Amino acid sequence: MHNIELLHAADARKQVEAGLYEKAQKQLNKAAETINAAVKLGQWYITLDCHLEPSVKKTLETKGYKVSSGSDRNEFYTTISWALVV
């Protein structure tokens, strides 16, 4: 039998939080790159093939974007739009 080192709960939490932060940063960077490219093409929205972390969604909404998520046959997607709705 192999001895497996068990992390302390505080260390486990720190590792999970660091991983979530890194994932959120990658998602936000991807969204920004995709939005900027779409704007240059005269588009009013983008769709990403993922479900955004709550912190990313909140950041985008704080900047005035409309963010909606859904799924199609177990594939998650997120639509981000910046068109004015009248």
pLDDT at 73: 87
pLDDT at 85: 58
Reported CATH class of domain 9-81: alpha beta
For residues 52 and 67, give the distance between their C-alpha atoms in angstroms, rounded to a whole number: 9
Does pTM top 0.85 for this prediction?
A: no
Q: What is the pLDDT of residues 31-80, one digit of tens each?
A: 999 999 999 999 999 999 999 999 999 999 999 999 999 998 889 999 99
pLDDT at 2: 75
**Domain boundaries along the sequence of the chain:** 9-81
Nearest Cα residue to 26 out of 50, 1, 2: 50
pLDDT at 74: 87
Q: Is the pLDDT of residue 86 over 60?
A: no
> Which tokens belong to 64?
């005035």
pLDDT at 66: 96
